Amino acid sequence: MPSGHPSSGLFPMSESDHRLLNSGWAGYYRLVKIPWPAVAGWYFAVLLAALPWMAVWRPAWAPVMVAAALVVYRVVDRSRVTEPWSSALVALSSLIFLLLRGGWEIAVGWMLLAALVAAVARALPRRDGARPDAADFVAIGGWGVVFVLAPRLVALDYGGWLAPALLLLAAQRMARSRTARTTGATVLGPPAREVRGTVSLDGVVLAGYDGLPCSVPLDLELRAGDSLAILCDAPDEAGALAAVLSGRTAPHAGEITVDGSPLEEGSRLVAVMAPGETFLAGDLVSNLAALCDAPLQRGEVAAVRDACSLNEVIAALGDRPLDADGSPLSPYHRLLVLAARVIPSSYHMVVVVDPMPWVNAVRGELWRSAVVRASVGRTAIWLTPDRDLAARASHVVEYRQGALRRAEGPAN
């Protein structure tokens, strides 16, 4: 390529890229692929930063600024990490605006109503994502009472009526931000990085509770998308093996690699479905999105609910929130929720610890279906004593006395 070509140098460009770039702004947008949330995020940040200054210098522009910020804030989904901080900044900006326009009394009055909305949103979570809920009624009711009984307080000279609406919405979303109160080292969230899911065990030796080796060297190869059932009748052995396979515990010896790279202890690359897993302290919908980076849309919630037959879970939970240990749900219902939250996530590997053969045939079949559905498109390892579940895997082995052996019988 001639040295005078615009694409020579550090950042070479293809001919198709040149054609896109020369086609104007639309071509530039398609070339750099700017995501809509990023564009909206910068736009929203500018509006938010300008809002308090509008209260001092150009109060007549304030309604337009607040309305624009309210639209973007309502439409754009943020990640589970940034949601509470974003909502806190929105609330702070709205309060400053109300303070500068209406004074201390107006700002404190709206702040008290916002605190009440946040408390209700925290104490009474949404059921199955339905709206309006109790917090919506409190916010709309409180705002409406002021609008009807004291219209002077929502005039522009006292801060207007859009800024309080933005404050109440921010308080509600901040209270519902999905912050996990964990009881252990488990951290909920999306995978730390993208993987294909090729898994290799090279001479892996497990350690017992005393730190001494309790298995022979284990060797295993799994291609991305394979499902492996490991028949194991001992719950303690299954739990120890799952902890190593998921990267939560380092093996006594040997190495586990994912896509050729070592699986570091504590790396969040594998979703785990097992008794004792951590939940989010909050409503069911938040827990279904616990392994995602953004809230689920209502259609996604309905699809996950149907895929894992969660109607019984919803009926058993009622309007009560979930604790970090999954209570007040029964162990069976907790497992269904654990399976359901894997489905919308971007994890490409999952480890399942099946606690027992199910006495209830209907529940047992629902659980098997949920495990299979959560494993579709993922590299899945099922540690189970259930041969009916194992028969649905692409590979079956047995784990006995610290060794992996070829399974015997129909499961293989």
The reported pLDDT for the residue numbered 336 is 95
Q: What is the mean pLDDT of residues 54-72?
A: 59
Peptide bond into 328 cis (omega under 30): yes
Question: Is residue 160's pLDDT more than 80?
Answer: no
Better pLDDT: 84 or 374: 374
Q: What is the mean pLDDT of residues 264-279?
A: 91
Six-digit token string for 303: 């699809």
In 3D, which of 328, 346, 152 has the Cα closest to residue 337? 328
- Dihedral sign from CA coordinates of 234, 235, 236, 240: positive
Minimum mean pLDDT range among 64-68, 110-114, 150-154 = 64-68
In 3D, which of 91, 87, 137, 143 has the Cα closest to residue 113? 143
Q: What is the mean pLDDT of residues 80-109?
A: 73
Q: What is the mean pLDDT of residues 164-191?
A: 67
Q: What is the mean pLDDT of residues 185-207?
A: 87
DSSP secondary structure letter of residue 207: B
**Domain(s) of CATH 3.40.50.300: residues in the chain:** 199-406
Distance CA 381, CA 143 (A): 52
CA end-to-end distance (rounded Å), the chain = 58
The reported pLDDT for the residue numbered 171 is 81
Better pLDDT: 123 or 363: 363
The reported pLDDT for the residue numbered 82 is 54
CB 275 within 8 A of CB 339: no
Please tell me whether residue 248 adopts helix, strand or coil conformation: coil
The reported pLDDT for the residue numbered 136 is 79
The reported pLDDT for the residue numbered 14 is 43
Whole-number mean pLDDT of the chain?
77
The reported pLDDT for the residue numbered 172 is 80
Q: For domain 199-406, is the CATH number 3.20.20.140?
A: no
Distance CA 61, CA 69 (A): 13
Question: Is residue 53's pLDDT more than 60?
Answer: no
Q: What is the mean pLDDT of residues 298-309?
A: 91
Question: Is residue 130's pLDDT more than 70?
Answer: no
